[in-house]
Structure 1
């Protein structure tokens, strides 16, 4: 059994890597020499140690930078989660007085004999709610009589209308709203045909 040698060659023949050099002569690896101008220059040990020291410093700076970035990423991720959890806190805090007013209106309706007084109270609470929501950036959409716009309106149905109302919003089923100039709810409308 042949071991350590090529199985296709006879036992007596040893394998020698041969190739042609630049001049076209066939040489073995043992015969090939590196020209003097291509040999590695002797590097002083103090330059080598300085280079190793600089490399070590660069690795340390890289690890510190990487660590700082990972800490920043974790911190911002945690802050984003906390913001999502408590993002509406200021709106909810602003709405608490409205909830208090609604509770008082509910209690007043149980014993009320004057419907007009209850109606006035509810209108005041509604006005207060609308004011708070406007302060937070909520703005109602004015759709009735406007040309139909698919970016703002959600058409529920069409109804026959005169020539002046063709392609326009005839009726508003559900009001649409903007939050800081971004549509957060499309107006559900009836279009004139």
Structure 2
């Protein structure tokens, strides 16, 4: 606080008033210096060069991320390849089903031709007709062979449920012991190594 002196009396010269500078507490000065030092340290930290350990840690992190992305890519590629294989199998199965359905129709035609040959061969007057049917029969069998279809023999073979369908049981004999196919009612066919249609047969049984 400024101290006021008494005003001069009887014309005495007035002394100028002086105001002293405020004193700054030492604690405030210390706090200011500490703040400046902290600011200097923050600036130095912001511009500091990363250490070798920090750089190696960054490299490891990026490498781990790259490996993860690569695994994800391989997984997606494997899924795509599996889908392609499944789609290819589905197409092949659809084609095979259609092929079998068409071949079954052709086989029914072959059956009718074979019946005509069997009955027509008993008449001399139908010789020319029978010969024409026989030629047609051979052509159809050749067509089936080109498609991988062929008949298989059943008569005299042991009965096998994979290849034969029993439609009648007849007494066994010396020529046809029990469990042997005696005759074909309808011929069986293979497509490749698989059964396209089992043969319908008569089977010998004892007693």
1:148 matched to 2:159: yes
What are the ranges of 5 or more consecutive residues in structure 2 without an aligned counterpart? 1-51, 103-108, 110-124
Q: CA RMSD in A?
A: 3.1
Normalized against structure 2, the TM-score is what? 0.53
Counterpart in the other structure of 1:24: none
Q: Does 1:180 align with 2:189?
A: no
TM-score (norm 1): 0.57
Match of 2:202? 190
2:90 and 2:162 map into 1 onto residues whose CA distance is: 31
Q: How big is the shift at 1:182?
A: 2.0
Q: Report how far residue 117 of structure 1 moved.
A: 4.0
* Aligned CA distance change for structure 1 residues 117 and 151 (closer, same or farther; 3 Å): same
1:56 corresponds to:
65
Distance in 2 between residues matched to 1:81 and 1:146, nearest whole Å: 37
CA distance in 1 between counterparts of 2:142 and 2:167 reads 29
Unaligned 5+ runs, structure 1: 1-42, 93-98, 100-113
- Matched pairs, number: 132
- Cα distance change on mapping 1:138 and 1:121 into 2, 3 Å: same
Q: Higher helix proportion, which one?
A: 2
The CA distance in 1 between the partners of 2:170 and 2:153, in whole Å, is: 19
How do 1:57-76 and structure 2 match up within 5 A?
Answer: 57-76=66-85
> Equivalent residue for 1:126?
137
Give the secondary-structure state (helix, strand or coil) at the position aligned to 1:163.
coil
Tell me which of 153, 170, 187 is aligned to 2:182.
Answer: 170
